[in-house]
Structure 1
């Protein structure tokens, strides 16, 4: 077997590193500098184009505050997989980047708004479930309007 070829696992690990790096608001250059490689090499790691040596994988995990097992997708640390799971949701990585780019005062407002939206969505979901499949068209429109 040719050990120089990358595998799906290499691409998966690279994608996890990219998600965690973005969540920490770190650039590829910053990660590369911290582990002793160029940003181009870090980019190759994240794309799964180049295998990551164990010592570098350990350095990346420490920098991102997760275990090496978290990079492989194994459940060992408390927060790592929760973050990875969240960041796989469409738009989540962008949300994290936007959140990190604003002042603490704006963040408080964003959290309040997000909590309010989640509360309204939960109420609408409960109402939709209570209405059941026999809901009339007007009731469905009212529930849908509550989500907007």
Structure 2
């Protein structure tokens, strides 16, 4: 049996739903309840394995307090599919990270730091650690 691969745009929209839901501190169960769905259905939307209808996407956008267009920001286009080498590929990489729990936690904590000097030092530290990890130091 051939496994069906999710459409890249459906995956992108789903990951943006997940990112925004996590940033808002809403569980899959709570979002599902508000939409009249199970948390499993929300999971399928977020993975892109189930396509989100226009009316459902509008409901989700309203619940998460973002415009519908938010879910399409940085989406792959027909001339540049997901995984291609371009600025949109870099944007997708960032979006994928921000959709993880670590990405959300790091972003929330980082934005609470008031000092630009401290934020810059954190960036320098993370870059140094990444270089050390990859052996490019």
Could you state the TM-score of these two structures normalised by the residue count of structure 1? 0.54
Residue matched to 2:83: none
Which segments of 5 or more consecutive residues in structure 2 lack a partner in the other structure?
Answer: 75-93, 124-137
User: Does structure 1 conserve the Cα–Cα contact (< 8 Å) formed by 2:22 and 2:99?
Assistant: no
Residue matched to 1:94: 105
Residue matched to 2:63: 63
Once the 2 structures are TM-superposed, how far is the Cα of residue 119 of structure 1 from its aligned partner?
A: 1.3
Instruction: Give the 5 Å matches for 1:9-28.
Output: 9-28=9-28
CA-based RMSD: 3.3
| More helix, by proportion | 1
The structure 1 segments of at least 4 consecutive aligned residues displaced by more than 2 Å after TM superposition are 87-92, 120-123
Which segments of 5 or more consecutive residues in structure 1 lack a partner in the other structure?
Answer: 75-83, 100-109, 126-148
Instruction: Choose 1 or 2 for highest CA Rg.
Output: 1
User: Higher relative contact order by CA 8 Å / sep ≥ 6: 1 or 2?
Assistant: 2
Residue matched to 2:114: 115
Provide the aligned length of Structure 1 versus Structure 2: 98
Question: How many Å separate the matches in 2 of 1:89 and 1:43?
Answer: 13
